[in-house]
Amino acid sequence: MGDMPDFKIKDFMNGTVKEFIADRIRNSDVVFTDNGEYDEFGTEVEGAADFFTFLTFMYKKYFRVDLHGLGNLPVEGPGLLVSNHAPILPIDGMMIGTGILIEMEKPRLIRAIVNRSISDIPFFSTLMYRTGQVIGCDENVRRVFENGNLVLVFPTGAEGRPHSIFNKYHLDKFTLGFMEYALRHRTPIIPTCVTGSEEAAMTLVGIDLPLAGFKHLPLTPIFPWLGPLGLVPFPSKFDIYFGEPIHYYKDHAGDADNPEKVREIVDDLHDRIKSMLDKALGRES
Partner 1 sequence: MRVLITGASGYFGKLLVHALRSDTGDKIDVIGVDVRETHTRGDDTMKFVSGDTRKKRIEDLFKTEGKIDVVIHLARDSSPDLSSDQSMMTNVYGTFHMLELAEKYGVKKFIFPSSSIVYGAHMDNPALIKEDHPLLGNRDVKTIRDRIEADLICQTYSPGADKMNIVILRTVPIWRTAGGGTLARYMKGELVPVFLGFDPMFQIIYDDEVIEAFRLATRIEDARGAYNIPGRIFMPLSKVIKHLGKKPLPLPEFLVHKKGQYRWSSQLRFDFNYLKYPFCVDGTKAKEELGYNPS
| 216: region left, alpha or beta (phi > 0 left; psi from -120 to 50 alpha) | beta
- CB 30 to partner 1: min, Å: 13
- CB 134 to partner 1: min, Å: 7
Which residues lie across from 150 on neighbouring strands? 79, 110
User: What is the C-alpha separation between 72 and 264, in angstroms, rounded?
Assistant: 24
Please report which residue ranges of the chain form alpha helices under DSSP H.
Answer: 9-13, 16-26, 45-57, 91-103, 124-130, 138-146, 177-184, 197-200, 248-251, 259-281
Site string for partner 1, 36-75 (x = CB under 8 A): -xx-xxx-x-------------------------------
Site string for partner 1, 102-141 (x = CB under 8 A): --------------xx-xxxxx-xx--xx---xxxxxxx-
Among 9, 33, 166, 284, binds partner 1 (CB under 8 A): 33
Confirm or reject binding of residue 35 to partner 1 (CB under 8 A): yes
User: What is the C-alpha separation between 148 and 90, in angstroms, rounded?
Assistant: 23
Pick 52 or 59: Cβ nearer partner 1: 52
Strand order through the sheet with 150-153: 66-68, 239-242, 189-195, 79-83, 150-153, 110-114, 134-135
Confirm or reject binding of residue 143 to partner 1 (CB under 8 A): yes
Pick 110 or 193: Cβ nearer partner 1: 110
- CB 211 to partner 1: min, Å: 14
Contacts with partner 1 by CB under 8 A: the residue count is: 28
- CB 117 to partner 1: min, Å: 7
Q: Single out the segment in contact with partner 1 by CB under 8 A; choices: 1-9, 33-41, 66-74, 252-260.
A: 33-41
User: What is the C-alpha separation between 273 and 255, in angstroms, rounded?
Assistant: 21
Cβ within 8 Å of residue 235, ≥6 positions away: 62, 63, 64, 200
- CB 44 to partner 1: min, Å: 7
- CB 151 to partner 1: min, Å: 14
Pick 213 or 245: Cβ nearer partner 1: 213
